[in-house]
Structure 1
Amino acid sequence: MPISDYYKNIRAKIGTDLIFMPSVAAIIKNDQNEILFQYIKGEEQWSLPAGAIELGEPPAKAVIREVFEETGLLVKPLHLIGIFGGEDFRFTYSNKDQVEYNIFVFNCKIISGKLTAIDGESSDLKFFNVYSKPELALPYPEVLFHNLKVSDAYFQWNDDWLKLNN
């Protein structure tokens, strides 16, 4: 589903103004260690399988739902590998809706399914080698696409804040 009733109601009230959007994204690898990316219809950009967290929905359940809707794959989230947000994760859709994502990124394992866009949001789904991945709509750090261990979760830090508070 491209946009939920919840976000439709918000947009009806505020138009295209900037909103926070709690979201999830998945790093999904095949047996050749390639990463799955989706090409979004109407946006002309590649992304990780991702989407908004719905009201009352835990992030891990949201990533399972979003991945299935966008890819036809049932996945199991193995662990959280990064949390991102801030100005670098602002995006303006082709319809001029502005969002600032707060994204929980999960490493996920394919359990079952056939690679196909269920909700019609993806116009292409393709696995890429980490060294030949497409340019993405959001600036995820390169380290995220390599084999991170659970203890290596990546977090954004404001170095200026750390210097002032140490």
Structure 2
Amino acid sequence: MPIPDFIKSLRSKIGTELLQVPTAAVLVHDDQGRLLLVQDNRSGQWGLPSGIIDPHELPSDAAVRETWEEAGVFVQLTHLLGVFAGEHFSHVYDNGDQLAVVSTVFAARVVRGTPHGDDEETSDARFFSPAEIDSLPCARYFLVIRKAISQNQSRAYFKPATWQPPDV
């Protein structure tokens, strides 16, 4: 993914230290119930259209923008699916940059456009049936989201809190 200017500025000050950033991701289903996935140019893995939320940008705007940029599809968000973070949402890049994300995940429907990769971040974008997804090399963050969403369809997902105050 291209590095946003504000991240480049931070990196010039802190080097490769761990940054936690907000991201937005989108689950887009077509009329046949297939899910839109994008293929990462570098890894070849499939995942959701997603990306870093720019400073002062709404998560919903970032979700719509990223789906357009990465998959060539303009979407209308329908509801919030959940908020995700943790070990499966961290990455160390080849240059040593460490990144942890908190991802807001939305459901959406297609307004217009035909899926295609952007040839910068994504090499392909297509709709897949659940059976087809099971045989794809998928990004681990996507597998976590897919499993959580499939088990929790009636309300927005979040991992239950485990923090407790110290004994007094």
Q: Does 1:155 align with 2:126?
A: no
Q: How far off its partner does 1:58 sit?
A: 0.7
Distance, in Å, in 1 between the alignment partners of 2:60 and 2:119 is 19
Amino acid at match of 2:58: P
Report the counterpart of residue 140 of structure 1 in structure 2.
145
Report the counterpart of residue 7 of structure 1 in structure 2.
7
Instruction: Trace 1:55-74 onto structure 2 (pairs within 5 A).
Output: 55-74=55-74
1:145/1:130 Cα in 2 relative to 1: closer, same or farther (>3 Å)? farther
Report the counterpart of residue 123 of structure 1 in structure 2.
123
Report the counterpart of residue 90 of structure 1 in structure 2.
90
Greater mean deviation of Cα atoms: 52-61 or 93-102: 93-102
| Aligned positions, number | 161
- Give the unaligned 5+ runs of structure 2: none
1:142/1:75 Cα in 2 relative to 1: closer, same or farther (>3 Å)? same
Distance, in Å, in 1 between the alignment partners of 2:79 and 2:116 is 24
Contact kept, 8 Å, 1:42 with 1:94, in 2: the verdict is no
Distance, in Å, in 2 between the alignment partners of 1:145 and 1:103 is 17
Contact kept, 8 Å, 2:118 with 2:124, in 1: the verdict is no
Alpha-carbon RMSD: 2.4
State the TM-score, normalizing by the size of structure 2: 0.84
Q: How far off its partner does 1:148 sit?
A: 2.8
Secondary structure class of the residue paired with 1:155: coil
Distance, in Å, in 2 between the alignment partners of 1:94 and 1:146 is 34
Amino acid at match of 2:140: A
Q: How far off its partner does 1:102 sit?
A: 0.3
1:143/1:130 Cα in 2 relative to 1: closer, same or farther (>3 Å)? farther
Contact kept, 8 Å, 1:46 with 1:137, in 2: the verdict is no
Percent identical residues: 35
Contact kept, 8 Å, 1:64 with 1:76, in 2: the verdict is yes
Secondary structure class of the residue paired with 1:62: helix
State the TM-score, normalizing by the size of structure 1: 0.85
